[in-house]
Amino acid sequence: MTPKQQVLAVALLLALGLAAVLAVRGFSGGTGGEEIVELGGVAASNSSAEAAPEAVEPGDEPPASPQGTLENPYVFEGVISSGDTMSTILQDWLPMSEVHAIVNACQDVYSPAKIRAGNPYTVYSSEEGMCRFEYVIDDTCKLVINREAENCYQAMVEVTPYEKQLAVVDGIIDSNLFLAIADAGEGPALAIALGDMFGYEIDFIRDLRVGDTFSILVEKRYQNGEFKSYGPLLAAYFVNQGVQHEGFYFSDGDGAGYFTSEGESLKRAFLKAPLSFTRISSGYNLKRVHPIFKEVRPHPAIDYAAPTGTPIKAIGRGTVTFAGWGKGAGRYVVIRHPNNYESIYMHMSGFASGIKKGASVRQGQVIGYVGSTGYSTGPHLDFRMKHNGKYINPTTVTSPRDEPIKSGRKDDYKERVRLYRAWIDGEEPLTSYPTEGY
């Protein structure tokens, strides 16, 4: 076939293909027909005779979204994803001008910057657009935004209603506090709360013994019959090595805390330990053989073995005088406390945010994380204390108690203790617990 014949053949094939396409389109309805397509199970008309919509400037209108009525709004439930902001969520339902109005309405109630990935939210939509937005802050409250008028929104934080029930949890230590709480059918949050309550009286790392017992009076919170969270621990007994410790919750209007039956505060100037529920791998020993250098070197410290990354807490309020690197200590922090005390935390894997020289810290604040930096054979915290510039044994420090119950509230406190004892000892029915005022 000559080149000229080849060109004619290609042209003929193209013409035949075009004719076939036109024939198929004519068979499926032509210019006057109407095609029905299924969109999510709802039939929608897509006629070629319809005029194209007018162009809309970007940001003027939100994308089309399902709508209900004011009496019966459409409800959309979602979960905050990583990277989401309130603006990125709401711009699917509202023009940006109204999104800005909502963000501004929230500022004095609950900062939109605080929304967190994983928390649920709900959008209510009517013919007028989004009419209500709810964001669950936590188990106790949620942010609610209602549309009052165009570009006018009201924001508020609503307390989540709960059914509150009083419970007594008894347990015995077979290994550690977490397992004992789990054996009693309760969650780890209760173990942490009990540890915080008696953290100034009992060293849960060094002092715990098999056979120790506890009884806890605690408020539990439910929604629709489902357990949601623990309320405050109202009272507890803890028998440690044959000695019974007691704690009772009381609020005097200026603050709340735990006290002995005589009204003395359980809170002291220093925590018993800077970590929760771990183990001591090496004690205070001025004649210890160093594990690396194999020679006798004083060890004026308590070593707490714990996994890398375990949070380390300041034992008391004070000021950071050093946060940096030492050849043998690795990353470490020094805190100066009142009355010429110092606490030292060594071999950290890293520092907590804001921990630097000159920073003020509160008691129990996380200052860093367990590591194995410097001269270390494994992840642990080397914890030391000084008084008037000299090392002291941290386990023998007796720190002063916080303020006791005010004299004008002692009668109220004694009545509260009487009632707590009656509930925890079974002399008063738990159903008599008033759900308000505690």
- Total domains in the chain come to 3
Q: What are phi and psi of 297, to 5 degrees?
A: -135, 135
Higher-scoring residue by pLDDT: 321, 438: 321
**CATH number, domain with residue 242:** 3.10.450.350
336-388 per-position pLDDT tens digit = 999 899 999 999 999 999 999 999 999 989 999 999 999 888 899 999 999 99
Residue 215 lies in a domain: yes
* DSSP codes, 157-175: EEEPP-EEEEEEEEEE-SS
Q: Are residues 125 and 179 in the same domain?
A: no
Q: Are residues 148 and 171 in the same domain?
A: no
Q: Are residues 291 and 389 in the same domain?
A: yes
Span between the terminal Cα atoms of the chain, in Å: 101
Look at residue 18 in the predicted model and tell me its pLDDT. 44
Q: Are residues 252 and 167 in the same domain?
A: yes
Higher-scoring residue by pLDDT: 205, 392: 392
Element (H, E) at 344: strand 341-351
Residue 58 lies in a domain: no
Residue 66 lies in a domain: no
Structure tokens at 192: 């942490």
Residue 37 lies in a domain: no
Please list, in sequence order, all residues whose beta carbon lies within 8 angstroms of the beta carbon of residue 433, skipping any fewer than 6 positions away: 164, 165, 166, 219, 423
Q: Which long-range contacts (CB under 8 A, 24 or more apart) does 183-186 make?
A: none
Q: Are residues 255 and 219 in the same domain?
A: yes
Domain range enclosing 253: 163-267+405-432
Higher-scoring residue by pLDDT: 297, 365: 365
Residue 69 lies in a domain: no
138-169 per-position pLDDT tens digit = 878 899 999 887 778 889 999 878 888 999 99
State the pLDDT confidence band at 92, using cuts at 50, 70 and 90: confident
Q: Are residues 384 and 409 in the same domain?
A: no
Q: Are residues 183 and 253 in the same domain?
A: yes
The whole model's pTM is what? 0.60
Higher-scoring residue by pLDDT: 8, 155: 155
* Average pLDDT in the chain: 80
Mean pLDDT score, 292-304: 63
Higher-scoring residue by pLDDT: 108, 53: 108
Most confident residue range from 9-13, 32-36, 277-281, 311-315? 311-315
Is the confidence at residue 270, as pLDDT, over 60?
yes
Among candidate residues 125, 159, 193, the one where a domain is terminated: 159
Q: Are residues 176 and 193 in the same domain?
A: yes
Is the confidence at residue 122, as pLDDT, over 80?
yes
Residue 5 lies in a domain: no
Q: What angle do CA 387, 389, 393 make, to 5 degrees?
A: 45
Look at residue 433 in the predicted model and tell me its pLDDT. 87
177-222 per-position pLDDT tens digit = 989 999 999 998 899 899 889 988 888 877 889 999 999 999 998 8
Look at residue 278 in the predicted model and tell me its pLDDT. 55
Among candidate residues 159, 181, 215, the one where a domain is terminated: 159
Among candidate residues 126, 159, 192, the one where a domain is terminated: 159
Look at residue 9 in the predicted model and tell me its pLDDT. 53
Number of helices (H), then strands (E), belonging to the chain: the values are 6, 22
Q: Are residues 337 and 417 in the same domain?
A: no
**CATH number, domain with residue 364:** 2.70.70.10
Look at residue 289 in the predicted model and tell me its pLDDT. 44
11-41 per-position pLDDT tens digit = 444 454 544 434 433 433 433 333 323 222 3
Q: Are residues 297 and 349 in the same domain?
A: yes
Q: Are residues 287 and 184 in the same domain?
A: no
Q: Are residues 314 and 372 in the same domain?
A: yes
Contact 341, 389 (CB under 8 A): no
Residue 93 lies in a domain: yes
Mean pLDDT score, 292-305: 65
Mean pLDDT score, 245-267: 89
Residue 126 lies in a domain: yes
Mean pLDDT score, 412-431: 94
